[in-house]
Amino acid sequence: MKIAVLIKQVPDTQSVLKINAAENWVVEDNLVFTANESDTYALEEALLMKEALSGEVVVCTLGPERAGQVLKDALAKGADRALFLRDDTFSQLDSGGAARVFARSLKEEKFDLILLGLQADDTGDAQLGPMLAEELNLPHVTLVVHTELLDGRLKVKQELEGGWFQHIEVDLPALLTIQSGINKARYASLRGIMAMKSKEIKQLTAADLGLNSSDLMPDQTLQRLYLPPKIKETVFLEGAPEEVAAQLVEKLAHEAKVL
Ligand SMILES: Cc1cc2nc3c(=O)[nH]c(=O)nc-3n(C[C@H](O)[C@H](O)[C@H](O)COP(=O)(O)OP(=O)(O)OC[C@H]3O[C@@H](n4cnc5c(N)ncnc54)[C@H](O)[C@@H]3O)c2cc1C
């Protein structure tokens, strides 16, 4: 099995986010960055498949110089080699553009399986998987919560809305977007960290991939990023029970207007 895993570097979900002056992204100074959560489960699923069937796991990211860290972490966990899509012109990509760039970098390698997370924790678009599958003309299943390899096929369980699931069989090659919690993602071992240092991280630019400015042109642009207005407030009423009851009646009558 030759498996590609896409991993995005995103701000840690515990970060305190501030919106930048241009209101088009967050202030990145002093942010802690980490691998997108669902991508870590996609990597684990790939490593488990490789351990069961042998083969190769190739991790791939697109981002600024700092994003190379997610590749090093994945190589330390057991991935075999990495592709780093690194070009300043990639900074304006929307999901469609990113799908075109990933498609160019993965197409010639003829992977049996491409795995990625169900969505990126920073932008939350959940579009890259289906768009990349379309670019590569592959069958795809989103929100996968279980995989089982059959003879040359893959049986997967997909999460639907409202607590429902469905079971689907797909031919390989295929693309899956993985739901968080499908497995227990491993930590890198000391041996893995040492081994990582000798593994290949291949950098590819737009020119290396034969992409021109029209391939990278976004169809979607972010107009404005803002914090949601605070419209609800919890008020704690204090005092003796009679005083609290009187305050409550007052508020129900004059603020909530339900009495
Ligand atoms: C269990 C569960 C809980 C959820 N909870 C929330 C929630 O609390 N809040 C919230 O905002 N959202 C939630 N969602 C997500 C929400 O349902 C989806 O965002 C919404 O249905 C729109 O999704 P979608 O447009 O990405 O695709 P869907 O309409 O859900 O997908 C239909 C099909 O179209 C495919 N598809 C989706 N996008 C594309 C594309 N760009 N190109 C080609 N094919 C595409 C999908 O792969 C899928 O096979 C939840 C989803 C699930 C499954």
The model's pLDDT over 144-161, given as tens digits with 9 standing for 90+, comes to 999 999 888 999 999 999
Pairwise CA distance, residues 201 & 205, whole Å: 13
Ligand 1 geometric centre to CA of 141 (Å): 12
**Confidence (pTM):** 0.81
- Burial code (b: 16+ CB inside 10 Å, e: under 16) for 178-214 equals bbbebbebeebeeebeeebeebebeebebeebebeee
Q: How many CA atoms lie within 13 A of 188 on its CB side?
A: 19
Q: H helices then E strands: how many in the chain?
A: 7, 11
* pLDDT at residue 237, rounded to an integer: 94
Q: Does the C-beta of 142 come closer than 6 Å to ligand 1?
A: yes
Pairwise CA distance, residues 156 & 131, whole Å: 20
The average pLDDT across 27-34 equals 93
Per the prediction, the chain carries an average pLDDT of 95
Residue 179: pLDDT band (50, 70, 90) is very high
The average pLDDT across 46-59 equals 96
Residue 229: pLDDT band (50, 70, 90) is confident
Contact 93, 218 (CB under 8 A): yes
Ligand 1 geometric centre to CA of 119 (Å): 10
- Evaluate if residue 232 carries a pLDDT over 90: no
* pLDDT at residue 18, rounded to an integer: 92
Amino acid at 209: L
- The closest residue, in CA terms, to atom 13 on ligand 1 is 161
| Of 8, 15, 13, the residue nearest 43 (C-alpha) | 8
Pairwise CA distance, residues 118 & 39, whole Å: 8
* pLDDT at residue 202, rounded to an integer: 98
User: Pairing relation of β-strands 153-159 and 140-149?
Assistant: antiparallel
* pLDDT at residue 228, rounded to an integer: 84
Residue 225: pLDDT band (50, 70, 90) is very high
* pLDDT at residue 256, rounded to an integer: 85
Q: Is the dihedral of CA 135, 176, 180, 45 positive or negative?
A: negative
Residue 230: pLDDT band (50, 70, 90) is confident
- Evaluate if residue 189 carries a pLDDT over 90: yes
* pLDDT at residue 227, rounded to an integer: 87
* pLDDT at residue 16, rounded to an integer: 87
Residue 30: pLDDT band (50, 70, 90) is confident
* pLDDT over 90, % of the chain: 89
Q: Does the C-beta of 126 come closer than 6 Å to ligand 1?
A: yes
Q: Torsions phi, psi of 87, nearest 5?
A: -160, 135
The average pLDDT across 197-220 equals 96
Q: Does the C-beta of 130 come closer than 6 Å to ligand 1?
A: yes
Q: Does the C-beta of 3 come closer than 6 Å to ligand 1?
A: no
Pairwise CA distance, residues 172 & 229, whole Å: 46
